[in-house]
Amino acid sequence: MKILITGGCGFIGTNFIMYLLNNEEIKQDIQIINIDKQTYAGQGKNIEHLGIDKNPNYSFIKCDICNKPFLSWIFKKEKPDLVFNFAAESHVDRSIENSEDFILTNIIGTVNLLEVSKQNNIKKFIQISTDEVYGSTKDKSFNEDSKLNPSSPYSSSKAAADLQAIAYYKTHNLPVIITRSANNYGPYQFPEKFLPLFITNLIDSKKVPLMWSENNPGLNVRDWLNVLDNCRAIWFVSQNKENGEIYNIAGESERTNIHMTKKLLNYFGFGEEMIEKINHRKAHDFRYSISSEKLKKLGFKFQYQNLDSEIDKLIKWYKENQEWWRLLKK
């Protein structure tokens, strides 16, 4: 079985490839083709750091998914069975500064992939999305039928891509599945995101930038999902025979940002003097929360939900792999 993965040099894509190639029940029967534009977030040499590039079941083609003619050539040459679309611009603050790359990659690029997949009779197209498409909630958890209410240019571009994927299923009967996950954490996450930024700063005894105001001193809530559970869930639903379905993948570990910050400070032996209080970004969503009941009813079971111990492991990883992230922070 040939599996084409877009954005496989990024955080979740890298971990997904590693999961497939390390899984004894899967790796013997697959050939992975990773296509990636290698933007700033894909420059960490994740694949090489893991040694995946030496695996005979793996190959890489540098490609921008906005380049439709090149995509068509790749699909005709490689003839993939499954497509997993991880390729995305994903940093909210960058989308607020300039949304152009988000529109191009997340919407136009996804439509290109959907169209080329339709033309080549792909057996399954898995669109990787985010809980941010539902927007913020104070007292409930969103399910797959909840309305989309994105707040940022990033989340709105992902919502648009999801709608295009569903349209290709309804209009062209393209076998599409969408996954929407909570905040992922784990190794090889680019150090602009909350946990790797804070951890690497504290390794260097530098302050951590926490969004703060008198009315909201870091009280925004995020649900934390181990990237390996996300990878397991994505593969799990890709093997489901039903098409046109959406699956939420929750972390079931909601914490306020100030709680997570204090946990990291305590680990490194620092106090709150190491918090650099910065203004909240525009349209800062207060709380993301999704339900995974639909996924669990299919039989999926999470394995990495002890958040405290998993964060301790993550800190250790960033301490032991400084040659990976220091070049990126420059």
165 and 27 inside one domain: yes
Q: Looking at 36, 64, 132, 254, which residue is catalytic?
A: 132
18 torsion bin: left (phi>0), alpha (psi -120 to 50), beta (else): alpha
Which CATH number do you get for residue 235?
3.40.50.720
297 inside domain:
no
Q: Looking at 134, 154, 169, 288, which residue is catalytic?
A: 154
* Per-residue pLDDT, 27: 84
* Per-residue pLDDT, 72: 98
43 inside domain:
yes
Which CATH number do you get for residue 196?
3.90.25.10
Phi, psi of 179 (to 5 degrees): -115, 140
* Per-residue pLDDT, 91: 82
Phi, psi of 270 (to 5 degrees): -105, 160
Tell me which residue range forms the domain holding 165: 2-184+225-249
Our count of domains for the chain comes to 2
* Per-residue pLDDT, 41: 74
Please confirm, yes or no, whether 132 is among the known catalytic residues.
yes
* Per-residue pLDDT, 39: 86
293 inside domain:
no
**Which residues of the chain have a pLDDT value below 70?**
none
44 and 179 inside one domain: yes
Contacts of 111 (CB under 8 A, 6+ apart): 161, 164
94 inside domain:
yes
Predicted confidence (pLDDT) per residue in 73-94, tens digit: 999 999 999 999 999 998 888 9
Q: Looking at 89, 131, 285, 310, which residue is catalytic?
A: 131
What tokens does 168 get?
């290709």
* Per-residue pLDDT, 247: 98
* Per-residue pLDDT, 4: 98
Please confirm, yes or no, whether 81 is among the known catalytic residues.
no
What global pTM score does this model have? 0.96
CB-count exposure of residue 120 (10 Å: 0-12, 13-18, 19+): middle
The letter for the amino acid at 63 is C
Predicted confidence (pLDDT) per residue in 44-62, tens digit: 799 999 999 999 999 999 9
* Per-residue pLDDT, 280: 95
41 inside domain:
yes
C-beta separation of 83 from 125 below 8 A: yes
Please confirm, yes or no, whether 154 is among the known catalytic residues.
yes
Instruction: Give SS3 for 218.
Output: coil
* Per-residue pLDDT, 223: 98
